[in-house]
Structure 1
């Protein structure tokens, strides 16, 4: 069966909403082949009974599904009773996490349903309240590294919004805005803009373009142009509340208003924020601003630099901060460790080293020296936009500052081969979605990843503290360290990807133990994560505990008011409804890795 999966044709746009653009098809085929070459995990062929959510009798559950089939149509309700297939990025499951850090049966759906309109989403919500069945909405399920399509409560019914709700409802070339449904990927939006000939519009895209524009934005994901803060660039939401009401936020609350995508605030309290990283509603439409083509962009000529020593990190961040705050550095700059440069070649770790523990740095440096990037500790990627005279002025300032670091080297793109990772960063920073990033997953067999994502000020001392705590914990748990500092206007995200073999329980446990230790270490130093995996949400939420947990108490009040029956994505971002609280559902460091609690209380509200 694994062989059949490997040979299956990759879905292509516009044949399917989740497909790859044709310009990336050859790259996708190579990526898929490499992934399956390193896959040793046996295919799950065992017959499965669907996991029934706690508190629901099995017969009652199937009766409820019959009720749902009558509402939606039988073809749009699928019971999850088949073997679990992990697939890969472009052919991922919507029933579980294809990069599971726990047992793959732990966070798994009972069924998947496919609404085709906001009215059908409302119908599903009404159904869930009637039968008290937890539901878990996904846009496309490609939130890999943070839980994928898996529901937090085992046995939840997953609402796959993307399969049937995938229309680009509007692209306004004068206002530089768009209006999209959950199943619109960055690939699809880019392709449609090009099809319409709107060359003056750019899409800000994350590292991989296959995810939902809505899903990424609601999770406060980032991209790499000056429009990289996706949540800041949204304008207008349409939301189905957990009690079934349909509302529009901002200017959309006024019938016939024509500024929904151009002014986000409207009148009165600004409510959009409660629908990001929450379980307070199901977003069915979202407006987004698009970036103007800056009239030509500079490739990374003069803007890819390498630095020789790990100790250069503190001075580098001090140099980057004033350049970024003053917009001399215009996009989300990246400073990556050289280990990622070696790993992103897509070759397995065993090509370089077969010993235990973290790969020695002398091995990494030796392998880096064989690449066009050369022997170094850190690699900087940036971009300059606008007319040539402005670009050159800014590039000269950057060059002079970076050369204050002894051994700084500017890499000439002319020496870089076509498949060098540099060119993927070049395309992404120019608003062109790509598929290169996950090649480092091939570092391990059955390569999976989970991300540690703390936020700090742009200060050298902060960078060093985070780097040192991560290095200490990775050494302790025998894990190779893959850090990247992504620098925003006044903060920076440290993104550390832990790569693990999902078929090896010891490596999964090491990844989880390392993650939990780093979350606690970072919190003790005053650093909080901006985003996290499903199984870490309770722990991360618990670190935001100022004034005896006032924020979580506020979140719980909102949850109980908006979702009195507790049916919508219970536990997402650590927010549990009243019926689940104090029943062992929270997954914390001391409570082990079992995702389920000991029952659900009866708080039905008619």
Structure 2
């Protein structure tokens, strides 16, 4: 970065934005990855006109920008740019819900609107729609998650699929809107995803062709009844059968379910109790005997499945019968629960002094947070995972922030064909590689369709320990390399591995041509997804 040029840009930004919107950072941004990126400046615009001004001035002086929504995509890079020297454009102050149509469930948002903020807005309006929640927690941007093609477990599980339209500031400062909008269909543009002519909105997803300043998404209505189901697979050798049965559930009743998760014992135990530091083996991992005790204590089996049914009472009752029939050959335990039942159980146990402090209270509390997530209510149920091996948990009631609290986390998120033998091959590969690097193999398989899983494997480590940081990154790199050879390719990447996509054998030539045409000076998020 030429600081003389940056000073000229800063002078012009001050005139347009004011000093309050400019923060001279000049330090390395820290994330859960255990690495740092140097950022000289952070700009915090309040509206789209300020974003346009920022981009025009950056283009004039050829200063690279890196936009973030809230920067809370922990485990993938957070607020850090892909390359050093970028000026961060923090959109978190653009946090308005711009429009909401209660008849269609269509909401138009700015990038700073989080799960928590949208939930508060809908509650104030008295509107019965589900928040597109994720395990990343209540304070993550809805737009940021959709642009990364995130997914959840509610009926509209694919969050970018729920994006109806968007607005973006292009690298030359002009504003992109769809052709349907320009053709006079401003209202229907928010109701029909594909518009007319070539579909262009998609280049802003996992891309760096502009700064998205507004997005319209479809929300799922709150159903008459929501019932979650939890099933246990007693032995690991039943995994293949479990895959077959989950696929059958999705094919036969998938229209009234969200995603279905299969989690191995390590992943479930990480949600159930603290990491057993005092019982670690010589290999740096939890010994099998200790693991078995933890499983018995928490009534956890080798694999646990989780899903939910949404609909009216008759539909839910009929689907329950089908799920029971389909899962009966593989499920050693199958339980159906409603949010009301879990709340009643939590209240009942809390009123009994004998069990108030018992281990079961923790289990019920975790279950209640899980049910909140199924019901489309923002929850921190998955966030404690980041703290399992490192980090200082905040006080009760304070929001969790794995970056701030020193957690070490890297996500490995490959796509896996939903075939029993291939799923087994992946699980064995991931377990073997994690163990070789002294990383506990925490594996979740989440259905993105009845044909494909996305697996999320959190690589947890202590950022205060350089040896652990090295092992964590080596583990990720081996997982990525071995997985690619077997066809297990991530659906999203962290900033530490996006450079791999710059390879000419990987990147379609069309993408590079588009980038060169739209952003010839590489102003917007250079290096993002290899561009």
TM-score (norm 2): 0.88
1:357-396 → structure 2 map (5 Å cutoff): 357-371=284-298, 374-396=299-321
Question: Does residue 431 of the first structure (1) align with residue 376 of the second (2)?
Answer: yes
Runs of 4+ in 1 over 6 A off after TM superposition: none
Q: Residue 325 of structure 2 corresponds to which residue in structure 1?
A: 400
- Helix, strand or coil for the counterpart of 2:38? coil
- Residue 225 in 1 paired to residue 144 in 2? no
> What residue is the counterpart of 2:59 in the other structure?
129
Partner secondary structure for residue 188 of structure 2: coil
1:69-95 Cα shifts (integer Å, max 9, x gaps): 11211111111146x7xxxxxxxxxxx
1:462 equivalent in alignment to 2:422 = yes
Report the Cα distance in structure 1 between the residues aligned to 2:179 and 2:107, rounded to whole angstroms: 16
> Whole-Å Cα distance in 1 between the matches of residues 43 and 527 of structure 2?
20
Counterpart of 1:483?
Answer: 443
Between the aligned partners of 2:307 and 2:499, the Cα distance in structure 1 is 35
1:171 aligns with 2:131: no
1:417 maps onto 2:379 in alignment:
no
Q: Does 1:98 align with 2:31?
A: yes
Contact 2:260 2:447 in 1 (8 A): yes
- Report Cα offsets for 1:211-261 as digits up to 9, x if no partner: 111100000000111101000001111011111110212533335721122
1:148 is matched with 78
Give the distance between the partners of 1:108 and 1:523, measured in 2 at CA: 30
Of stretches 388-397 and 220-229 in structure 1, the one that deviates more from structure 2 is 388-397
Separation (CA, whole Å) in 1 of partners of 2:17 and 2:271: 44
Give the number of equivalent residue pairs. 493
Residue 282 of structure 1 is matched in structure 2 by 211
Shift of 1:519: 1.0
Aligned to 2:113: 184
Q: Which residue of 1 aligns with 2:490?
A: 529
Q: Which residue in the other structure is 1:559 paired with?
A: 515
Contact 1:305 1:380 in 2 (8 A): yes
Asked which structure has the greater RCO (Cα within 8 Å, sep 6+), the reply is 2
Alignment of 1:322-337 (within 5 A): 322-328=248-254, 330-337=257-264
Root-mean-square deviation (CA, aligned residues, Å) is: 2.0
1:358 is paired with a residue whose SS is coil
1:523 shift after superposition: 1.1
Give the structure 2 partner of residue 267 of structure 1: 196
Q: Which residue of 1 aligns with 2:355?
A: none
Equivalent pair of 1:348/1:445 in contact (CA under 8 Å):
no
Contact 1:251 1:265 in 2 (8 A): no
1:64-79 alignment runs, 5 A limit: 64-79=9-24
Alpha-carbon contact 2:110-2:214 (below 8 Å) kept: yes
Unaligned segments of structure 1, at least 5 residues: 1-52, 85-95, 576-606
**1:191: how far off?**
1.2
Looking at structure 2, the residues matched to 262 and 465 of structure 1 have their Cα atoms a distance apart, in angstroms, of 42
Alpha-carbon contact 1:185-1:212 (below 8 Å) kept: yes
Q: Taking structure 1 as the reference length, what is the TM-score of the superposition?
A: 0.78
The counterpart of 1:344, out of the listed 271, 296, 299, is: 271
Residue ranges of structure 2 left out of the alignment (5+ in a row): 350-359, 392-406
Q: Give 1:355 deviation, angstroms.
A: 4.2
What is the CA distance between 1:198 and its match in structure 2?
1.0
Deviations 1:259-294 (A, max 9, x none): 122112222111011110000111000000011122
SS at match of 1:428: helix
